Structure 1
Amino acid sequence: MMDFIKHRDLKISWYFSLVAILFCSCVEPYDIETKTFESALVVEGTITDQRETQEIKLSRTFRLEENNPAPENDAKVKVVGDDGVEYFFSSIGEGIYHSNNQFRAISGVNYSLEIMTEDGSSYASKPSTLSGTSIIDDISAIRTVQTIDGLDSDGIVILVDSRNASASSIYYRYTFEETYKIKSQYNVQKKLIVTEGGGLEVVWKEEPDNICYRTEFSNDIILTNTNLITDNNIEKAQVHFIDKSNTALAYRYSILVKQYSLSREAYEFYEILKELSGSESLFSQNQPGFINGNLFSLDNPNEKVLGYFSVSAVDSKRLFFSFTDFFDLLEFPRSKFDCSITRPDAFALLGLIESGIVQYYGDAGLGSPSDEGEGPYRVANIICIDCRILGTTEVPEFWIE
């Protein structure tokens, strides 16, 4: 279900790549263009204490004028424990590597990441070991008003309470996955198709397309620590805020929060990375330079490698709620799409249907005098009729109404 969203492209690799550009290029005010460029390997890798398919992602830095990082494919990847056990990873495409077998990190074992890229270059990480524990007691949703960019915003804040079973577990990173229900503005059982002869025909739909589900993934670096808390427990740590105008809240909403324990070194790395991801830091005249992680080249000590390989204890909890749990129906978020009904002429309509821009709403004879145009069919923006443009009709296994 989650494949339809490219959730990784704007995640931590985006920060890694921008920071890489900063140490090797010159950015002038209002001239967002890379003057010089040095390709560097970017590594995202966290193995956890949960028995699961572990994941490593490899990519390359990209220029400011480019849209996304380039995946590093066809590499040989493995994680090696100082207990002598090796775990091999295979590519599933787009620079993502999954462990061939499920495994979990074991307390007291030091793990290293080893990489050989397609061109024969070799890389490794410094040894990392499991950092303490991670136990989420509760996640909650509360209606509140927050000031964002100088404006008050009414919405829902997602908070985490965490219990620490080890005095050493005082640094945490959070990620989340939010899944929400989508309803098409119009529920129409028929559609227009282009016939083999180049005409238009109204046919029954094979399946309903008015209720869908969409999953989106966090793309911020969310950190907290218990340095100033005597019992090392986290209370009401904010991991997300959703404005009430966000249509993700319109019907049913779910969020899965994951909490990762971090070593002090990993926390400091992510903290600096988070600071540099701010617009003032990224485009200031005082460029911050390269951030040292725990990865290095085995062939060239001067080659820069971005990213961090960590070993974390992880815990997760899921929360469900509906819009009416917090808001009145009069506050219902409005669609940002134009869903007006039109009647394009037959020639224009053919092109619009072929391009997937509009879809059938009804016959012209059932129209309103206010409809724009005098074509044979009433149509609307396809996104107002077919919710599959935004999500999938497959109900998630975890979904609870």
Structure 2
Amino acid sequence: MKRPPLSPLRTLARYIAFTLLYTWLIGCITPYQPELKSLDQPVLIVDGFITDQPGPYQVGLSYTADYTAKAVNLRATGAKVTVTDDTGAKQDFIEVAAGIYRTPTTYQGQAGRTYKLTITLADGKRYESTAEKLKAAPPIDKVYDEFSQKETASGLDSGFDVFIDTRDSPTPGDYYRWRWTNFEQIIYCGIKTQTVRGVTTETGQSCCQTCWDVITCTGPNCINTLSDEAINGNSISREPIMRVPFTSYGKYYLEIEQLSISREAYLFYKSVENLTVSNGGIFDAAPATVKGNIRSLTNAGEFVFGYFSVSGAQKVPYVVDRLTGKGSPAVKPAVIPPGPLDPCVACVESDYRTRIKPRWWPL
């Protein structure tokens, strides 16, 4: 039987789900783009967080619309972004790239405090998040990895599965989220392409500053959350964090975060997860559930999507020793070194590149 077409609201909701996943996590990748002819104007998407770990913290502001090569134009630039706690103390976010706002590294959330986000766009529109209390997270007891090889349609997938062990707190009503970040120090911040007599060559252009590539999870399976409803007070064992690719014998540096999130944040992330894997059936979750904790102060009827998360966190470093892998790594082709006269290229702050030294680098 042929499925009926998706309603405009469900189409919008599914679009938001995919957009959130990609713009939150890597920023530069073109996400899934269905047709949205029913939308009269772009919808603001807000993604931000603070924790009780050392900053900086980040808020991303963007709009729904066709994602093309001009996607950077969809970032909301020139906004004033501020977080305020329940004592009235305020901290401004600084715009470090188009639509990307960060706090100073000296600012840090505190367990027991309540926080909310306020946004004033360049056109004067104002927005506010629901206040959330920062609840401390339990420690990560153990991090470990296991090498495995899997047959796939495209060949043999070799990699290292990373797991953590932890323990839920004895009180009921705890909700968790896990995320990871891989940092890789880079030599080249640009690639120069030249074609001479029909032969094209690429050479790397050195970074002007010390620079790291920032790699995070992408795709619909990256929202990793858990409710303690069925395991209250018990151990959480072999919680999967990520799969490290076997592309080198070099060490793979990770920072793993265990977040204690609110029930509202948990329901939001589960809604996004459900919508990305949904097949459009009649028993799907209602699209309205994807709406987060941001509301417009200028127009009460305006749709706003995204979430400002206030989380207790435990962050730990972990290094995967890929020398323990079996067989040969799927080595990526190396970039040819630059010539002596090539100028350096600036390390530009973005979702996927930073000049800020990782917290435990080097271990």
Scaled by the length of structure 1, what TM-score is found?
Answer: 0.64
Change in 2 beyond 3 A, CA 1:180/1:77: closer
Evaluate the alpha carbon distance shift between residue 297 and residue 317 of structure 1 in structure 2; reply closer, same or farther with a 3 A threshold.
Answer: same
Q: Could you say which residue in structure 1 is the equivalent of 2:36?
A: 34
- State the partner residue of 2:329: 333
Evaluate the alpha carbon distance shift between residue 65 and residue 250 of structure 1 in structure 2; reply closer, same or farther with a 3 A threshold: same
Give the AA of the match of 2:261. Answer: L
Q: How does 1:41-60 map to 2 (within 5 A)?
A: 41-60=44-63
Q: Deviations over 1:53-96 (max 9, x none)?
A: 33222111222667746211111111122222222222222212
Alignment of 1:364-379 (within 5 A): none
Which residue is equivalent to 1:105? Answer: 109
Over alpha carbons, which structure has the higher Rg? 1
How many pairs are equivalent? 309
Cα distance in 1 for residues equivalent to 2:294 and 2:68: 27
- In structure 2, the CA distance between the partners of 1:307 and 1:153, relative to structure 1 (3 Å rule), is same
**Would the alpha carbon gap of residues 47 and 122 (structure 1) be closer, same or farther in structure 2, given more than 3 Å must change?**
same
Structure 1 residues not aligned, in runs of 5+: 1-7, 22-31, 185-192, 195-204, 338-382
Deviations 1:290-342 (A, max 9, x none): 42211111121110011111210111112223332132xxx2123465xxxxx
Instruction: Provide the alpha-carbon RMSD of the alignment.
Output: 4.4
| Equivalent position SS for 2:287 | coil
- Tell me the alpha carbon deviations over residues 2-60 of structure 1, each in whole angstroms, 9 at most, x when there is no partner: xxxxxx9643597xx979x8xxxxxxxxxx43323331111111111124333222111
Query: Letter of the aligned partner of 1:52 in structure 2?
Result: G
Between the aligned partners of 2:216 and 2:146, the Cα distance in structure 1 is 21
Of structures 1 and 2, the one with the larger relative CO (CA 8 A, separation 6+) is: 2
Residue matched to 2:164 = 160
Q: Say if 1:125 and 1:294, in contact at 8 Å, map to a contact too.
A: yes
CA distance in 1, matches of 2:321, 2:226: 28
Change in 2 beyond 3 A, CA 1:311/1:166: farther
Matched residue, 2:323: 324
- In the alignment, which residue of structure 1 is the partner of 2:293? 294
Please name the residue that 1:311 is paired with: 310
TM-score by length of 2: 0.69
**Contact 1:11-1:218 at 8 Å conserved across structures:** no
Give the AA of the match of 1:11: W
Identity %: 25
2:223 matched residue in structure 1: 221
Instruction: Return closer, same or farther for 1:68/1:166 CA change in 2, 3 Å cut-off.
Output: farther
1:259 has 2:258 as partner:
yes
Match for residue 75 of structure 1?
79
Contact persistence 1:50–1:103 (CA under 8 A): no
Structure 1 pair 147–48 and aligned structure 2 pair: CA distance change class (3 A):
farther
The 5 Å alignment of 1:2-401 reads 10-11=23-24, 32-37=34-39, 38-63=41-66, 68=71, 70-100=74-104, 102-144=106-148, 153-165=157-169, 167-168=171-172, 170-179=174-183, 214-219=213-218, 220-244=222-246, 247=247, 249-278=248-277, 280=279, 289-290=287-288, 291-327=290-326, 331-335=327-331, 337=333, 383-386=334-337, 398=360
Whole-Å Cα distance in 2 between the matches of residues 288 and 173 of structure 1? 23
Letter aligned with residue 239 of structure 1? I
Distance 1:84 1:53 in 2: 20
SS at match of 1:293: coil
In the alignment, residue 82 of structure 2 is paired with which amino acid?
K
